[in-house]
Structure formats: structure tokens, C-alpha cells
Amino acid sequence: MTQPEPVLLSKTKNAVLTLSLNRPERLNAANDELLFALTEALKTAELDNAMRVVVITGSGRGFCAGQDLGDVQNREGSTNFTEHLRHTYIPLIQTIRGLKKPVITAVNGVAAGAGASLALSGDIRLWSEHAILIEVFSNIALIPDAGSTWMLPRLVGAARAFEMMAFAEKIGAEDGLKLGLCEQVYSAGTFVDDVQVYAERLAARPLNALALTKQAINFALGSTLDAALDNEAVLQQLAGDHAEHKEGVRAFAGKRKPDFGQF
Ligand code: T3D
């Protein structure tokens, strides 16, 4: 019997590419096949000029339940966690954070373990009212990986992050919004449409400038103020030299809406 595709691709005419994790019966728990397919789809999206924004979401009721524990149980002998992470989750998270296009994580349901890391890794995080984030790793006596120890303390502070990790606390949408784990929460019934509207709004923004903004934020998160100030000055040259900038200024002078979608 042929296996279903682990990641479904859907392109809309409004320049939004949606990647849906597709193991709904396992709450989209990640096996290697899914992780490689997602990373490859993101790399392909980088080269597709017709696609301006990427949405990552889950099929069925879950977003992603983290590493597939069935696969873990089937491992023989001792597991090389380090090598596994280096081959699977690390390239995935690096690809998302380095992508020169905005990535939205549209968290439709539970995001647990490395699935929580994936949910946090988006440039914009949109949650359904049914979304739940769990740093579930300690339930199986592992440490948070796939970037959770880097992302979560920066969002909620070290002590709160540790508490969430130590108790594998379930964070629902209301608390997620308060804690800054997501930017918007939408009703479950309209979630897909609301995400699409949001993504289209983002796709109409100046993408070169947004890619450079993402690059500047990534740099600033690991740098001093002096270094960040200088990096802004360098990247601003790239933004200012781009046709998008000229269109923005022309539109302002002409009292019209800029057409950034042409670039
Ligand atoms: O290997 C390495 O490189 C290390 C990397 C580690 C990264 C990690 O992500 S470690 C963390 C792994 N994930 C987990 O420990 C989460 C396990 N799942 C859960 O705790 C719960 O399922 C949830 C809290 C996520 C959701 O609970 P609930 O009650 O909504 O759903 P459920 O009934 O538990 O799950 C529904 C089905 O999905 C169920 O299958 P069944 O019984 O209907 O046939 C369940 O077994 C399956 N499922 C859920 N999570 C996983 C899974 N199957 C495989 N792997 C999973 N992670």
C-alpha cells in the first residue's frame, strides 16, 4: 500500500504556500520522512518567486506532537540523539529561521515537544482557540530541543520557561497570547480562512524589506547594540537600493497604495 505524502503542498493564486503536516492519526508526530519533506519543501519555496509567504500547519486536530515515539520505541540499541537532531530538526529550524520569506506557523491544535519548537519558530505565530503548546519533553525525561531552549526563555524569561518545561505545562490559546507565544488567536471554525487572509495581507507587503528585517532581527538576537546598529546600516543599503523602496516613495508622493507585489 502506498503511504500518503507526509507533507501536503497547497499554492494559492495570492502567493501563499501552505505546507500541511500530514500524519493526522498521530497528531502529525514527526518521523524522518516528514522532517526531510518539510525541510525540502521550504528550500523549494525559497526559489519559487510566485510564492511570497509560507504557512506551516497541521492536518486533522493536531499541529505536531513532536518526535514520533513509535519510531523511538522501534530503535535498536542505544540511540544517537545528537546525530539524529543534527540530521533532522536542526536543518529544519535553521531553514525556517534563515528563509528569505516570512514563515507563519498556523497552530491548529496541540504542539508538543519538538512540535512546540516548530510552532515557536515561525516569524508570525497564529493560533486556533484549540491550540495547546506543551514543552512535553520532561514527561519522557528528555531535554527540550529543536530550539525550544533558545526561543522560549527569550519570549517568557528563563524561570517561566523552566517551569513550563519542568512540569510539561499545557499552555492554551488565552495564556499563549498573554505570554507572547502567538500574535493572534482565531476561532477554530474560521481558522483556515483567517490564516489565509492574514497570509495574503503579509504577501502584499514589501518582501525584500521583510527578508532583510528578518535577517536583522536574527542578527540582533545574538549581538550587541553597537553591532546591531551597524548591521542595520549595512542592510538598509540593500533595502534602499531595491526597486521596492522606490515604489514605496513614489506611491507616497502620488497618494496611492504601493504595489509591492510586482517585485
Ligand atoms: O529522537 C530524537 O532525535 C529526540 C527528539 C525528541 C523531540 C521530541 O519531540 S520528544 C517529545 C515527543 N512527543 C511526546 O512525548 C508527545 C507524546 N504525546 C502526548 O503527550 C499526547 O499525545 C498529546 C499531549 C500530544 C496529545 O494528547 P491527546 O490526549 O490530545 O491525544 P492522544 O490520544 O494522546 O494521541 C492521539 C493519537 O496520536 C494516539 O494514537 P492512538 O492511541 O489513537 O492510536 C497517540 O498514540 C498518537 N500520538 C500522539 N503523540 C504521538 C503519537 N504517536 C507517536 N508519537 C507521538 N509523539
DSSP 199-254: HHHHHTS-HHHHHHHHHHHHHHTTS-HHHHHHHHHHHHHHHHTSHHHHHHHHHHHT
pLDDT at residue 161 tops 80: yes
Tell me the C-alpha distance between 77 and 120, whole Å: 32
29 touches ligand 1 (CB under 6 Å): yes
Least confident residue range of 59-73, 154-168, 213-227: 59-73
Inter-helix orientation angle 148-156/158-166, to 10°: 120
Averaged confidence pLDDT in the chain: 97
What number is the average pLDDT over the span 133-161? 98
114 touches ligand 1 (CB under 6 Å): yes
Q: What is the CATH code for 207-262?
A: 1.10.12.10
Q: Which residues contact 17 (CB under 8 A, 6 or more apart)?
A: 9, 10, 11, 45, 48, 51, 53, 54, 55
**Domain positions in the chain:** 7-203, 207-262
Tell me the C-alpha distance between 250 and 210, whole Å: 19
Q: How confident is the model at residue 1 (pLDDT cuts 50, 70, 90)?
A: low
Determine which helix (DSSP H) or strand (DSSP E) holds 127, and give its type and residue range. strand 124-128
* Residues, the chain: 263
C-alpha distances in Å from residue 140, one per residue of 53, 58, 90, 136, 166: 35, 23, 20, 8, 11
User: Which pTM value belongs to this model?
Assistant: 0.98
| SS3 of residue 168 by DSSP | coil
What number is the average pLDDT over the span 171-186? 98
By the 8 A CB rule, do 54 and 98 touch?
no
CA 145 to ligand 1: nearest atom: 7
Least confident residue range of 39-48, 75-84, 143-152, 247-256: 75-84
Ligand 1: which residue has its CA nearest to atom 49? 26
How many beta carbons lie within 10 A of that of residue 251, not counting itself?
14
Tell me the three cell numbers of residue 32. 524522518
What number is the average pLDDT over the span 186-203? 98
Helix, strand, coil percentages for the chain (3-state, nearest 5): 55, 15, 30
16 touches ligand 1 (CB under 6 Å): no
Centre of ligand 1 from the C-alpha of residue 112, in Å:
8
Q: What is the CATH code for 7-203?
A: 3.90.226.10
69 touches ligand 1 (CB under 6 Å): yes
- Please report the pLDDT score of residue 74 as a whole number: 78
Centre of ligand 1 from the C-alpha of residue 87, in Å:
21
CA 132 to ligand 1: nearest atom: 24
